[in-house]
Amino acid sequence: MASEGLDARLKQPAPIPLDAALACRPGELLALVGPSGAGKTTILRAIAGVIRPREGRIACNGEVWFDAARNIDWPPQRRRAGLVFQDYALFPHLSALDNVMTALGHVARAGREARARALLALVHLSGLEARKPDALSGGQRQRVALARALAREPAVLLLDEPFAAVDQVTRRKLQRELALLRRAIAAPTILVTHDLAEAAALADRMTVLHHGTSLQHGTPDEIANRPASPLVARLMDQPNVFTGTVAGRDAARNLLALRWGKIVLEAHDDGRFRPGESVAWMIPAAAIVMHRRERPSRGERENPVSGTVAELLFFGETASVSLRVGGGAADGGDSAPLLAFSVSAHTARRNALAVGAEAAVSLLADAIHLMPPEA
């Protein structure tokens, strides 16, 4: 099965537990996301060949780089993986130009300097070729590291938190540059990040990792809105994850009745759950619509839920609201569930939102996503 792009399956119990499978096609940018310690960097290092996992197989463009079962383990020199380290790992005693030229061993000697200059120009570093790393800013160092990784004409480009060590402004700029540069990179690219917004903005696909295990693979949209499990939902920073029971099914309208405490909600039916089943469910904050006080609208008939404002925080132009759901939605006693959503600061003021105030929202039925309950 000689397929284009990268396929990796890695498994080991220690020192860093791994049970991950990932795939990345040419031209595709795959984001490996997960909390610190999820094994993201370990996976990149295993793909690059600087560490050897206990079990698994890594193949790239039909070449088997690693296969524990067949005792194949190509050294990093042979794998042609361009790796941008988290703190860049530039050679401190070499100029930017020499750092890039170090990775041009496969190019005829006479052509190396011109190629290195072209790569530095590609990452907007013309004029800084003679600088050593300690005379470059964080963002410039990242670009040298990227140019050095590209110099190998990598079969796969691996980026380990490439924007973590720079300030916010530089980060935005570098992210934009990477998005533009991607058009010129044919190699499959794997980006390790714990920044979900970054992953969603840059990646074609995402793989969610937790304690070394890959939990879900899909587009950023799928993973944000259709997480495979409550754990993925929480790792994706979804605040509204609850439990409930499927109470009935309206096949004609393609809807399920979802019992949430004493409230019954209508939810999109994807056919995976039957009446009577316990489920976990979630709704993205963006699919919670606040009702306006003075001007009720038709949309308010969709899954209306009311409660009291438990927390109200203003972040610039946005107000973050936590609504303690009334009407007996709670599964038990006073631990009534909290719905988290955002409105514009302007809307919050006009509706006189305040802690303790009553408010009503609609939960958009199409956005309610059901998942198997947690074991």
Which residues of the chain form contacts with other proteins (CB under 8 A)? 45, 48-50, 75-77, 80-83, 85, 87, 89-93, 102-103, 105-106, 148-149, 151-152
Rounded to the nearest 5°, which phi and psi values hold at 194? -110, 5
Rounded to the nearest 5°, which phi and psi values hold at 155? -75, -25
The minimum distance between CB 310 and other proteins, in angstroms, equals 46
The minimum distance between CB 219 and other proteins, in angstroms, equals 29
Strand partners, 193: 33
Q: Which is nearer to other proteins, 50 or 286 (CB)?
A: 50
The minimum distance between CB 205 and other proteins, in angstroms, equals 24
The minimum distance between CB 112 and other proteins, in angstroms, equals 12
- How far apart are alpha carbons 14 and 301 in whole angstroms? 53
Q: Which is nearer to other proteins, 30 or 103 (CB)?
A: 103
Q: Which is nearer to other proteins, 83 or 166 (CB)?
A: 83
DSSP codes, 129-187: TT--GGGS-HHHHHHHHHHHHHHT--SEEEEESTTTTS-HHHHHHHHHHHHHHGGG--S
Residue 354's identity, in one-letter code, is A
- How far apart are alpha carbons 57 and 67 in whole angstroms? 4
Cβ-in-10-Å burial (0-12, 13-18, 19+) of 185 comes to middle
Rounded to the nearest 5°, which phi and psi values hold at 321? -115, 135
**DSSP helix/strand/coil, 330:** coil
Structure tokens at 81: 């993986």
Q: Which is nearer to other proteins, 9 or 45 (CB)?
A: 45
The minimum distance between CB 345 and other proteins, in angstroms, equals 45
The minimum distance between CB 284 and other proteins, in angstroms, equals 38
290 and 360 Cβ atoms separated by less than 8 Å: yes
97 and 120 Cβ atoms separated by less than 8 Å: yes
The minimum distance between CB 24 and other proteins, in angstroms, equals 17
Closest CA to 83 of 123, 44, 117: 44
Q: Which is nearer to other proteins, 153 or 204 (CB)?
A: 153
Matching residue, tokens 């991950």: 20
Q: Which is nearer to other proteins, 146 or 258 (CB)?
A: 146
Q: Which is nearer to other proteins, 50 or 114 (CB)?
A: 50
Residue 15: alpha-carbon gap to chain centroid: 25
Q: Which is nearer to other proteins, 91 or 314 (CB)?
A: 91
CA 89 → CA 99, 137, 149, 157, 369, distances in Å?
10, 14, 11, 16, 43
- How far apart are alpha carbons 84 and 158 in whole angstroms? 6
The minimum distance between CB 372 and other proteins, in angstroms, equals 40
- How far apart are alpha carbons 134 and 119 in whole angstroms? 20
- How far apart are alpha carbons 48 and 51 in whole angstroms? 8
The minimum distance between CB 64 and other proteins, in angstroms, equals 19
Helices 138-151 and 168-181, packing angle to 10 deg: 20
Residue 48's identity, in one-letter code, is A
Q: Which is nearer to other proteins, 148 or 226 (CB)?
A: 148
The minimum distance between CB 141 and other proteins, in angstroms, equals 12
Q: Which is nearer to other proteins, 106 or 272 (CB)?
A: 106
